[in-house]
Amino acid sequence: MNKQIAFEIFSLIQPCISFQGESDDFSSGKYKPSEACAFGITIENNILTEHTLLKTSSDVYHLLDILEQDATTLIWDCIAITSQGWASPNDSFEGTPSEHPDRVRAFMVSIVDNEQNIYSVVKLDDEDQELNYDTSASGNLADALKNLYPKEKQINDSNKFYI
């Protein structure tokens, strides 16, 4: 996966999440913006060919736990997870980003592929500039994303087997 595909995934998913109403109508793509959402993504020849809403939860880690137990996630080339929260400058402030005086709202799509590579695209509310792209994920969220795909693969001539 490359940066262009990660941005395309973000562009497809963001309008679904940006709805500001109080609807619980998941079938129309309109749901509470505070929900963490998981999308299955299919990519063929570096072209995004399919994306489907898989599950939602008010807690991103609960959502990832549910997906980790669901073998159907293995049919997708990658899984995109949305989350929203606070971002703050990387300075000497001691506290959480939500407590920082210069905090801003952030919307993030984290994408894990079936090789356990992680790609993140972040949009800050106060910025009109380009999206932020990162491939250096670490920490609890990165570990939970990597758990969606098994650690080892065995490949034969006709199939991939996950262990």
Identify residue 153 by its one-letter amino acid code: K
Domain count within the chain: 1
Give the mean pLDDT of the chain: 79
| Proportion of the chain above pLDDT 70, given as a percent | 77
- pTM surpassing 0.85? no
Q: Is pLDDT above 60 for 27?
A: no
In this predicted model, what pLDDT tens digit does every residue of 95-151 receive, in sequence order? Answer: 888 888 888 888 889 999 988 999 999 888 766 666 888 888 888 888 999 988 875
- Give 130-137's long-range contacts (Cβ < 8 A, gap of 24+): 131/7, 131/10, 133/3, 133/6, 133/7, 137/110
- Supply the range of the domain harboring residue 42: 3-162
In this predicted model, what pLDDT tens digit does every residue of 75-95 receive, in sequence order? Answer: 899 999 998 888 888 778 888
Q: Are 8 and 121 within 8 A, CB to CB? A: no
Task: Check the CA dihedral 24-5-137-113 and report its sign.
Answer: positive
Locate all alpha helices (DSSP H) within the chain, ordered by sequence. Answer: 3-17, 60-68, 140-146
For tokens 């395309």, what's the residue? 8
Most confident of 57-71, 89-103, 149-163: 57-71
At 161, the pLDDT band (50, 70, 90 cuts) reads low
Most confident of 26-30, 66-70, 89-93, 157-161: 66-70
For tokens 């599950």, what's the residue? 55
| Distance set, CA 101 to CA 10, 35, 98, 128, 150 (Å) | 28, 25, 8, 20, 41
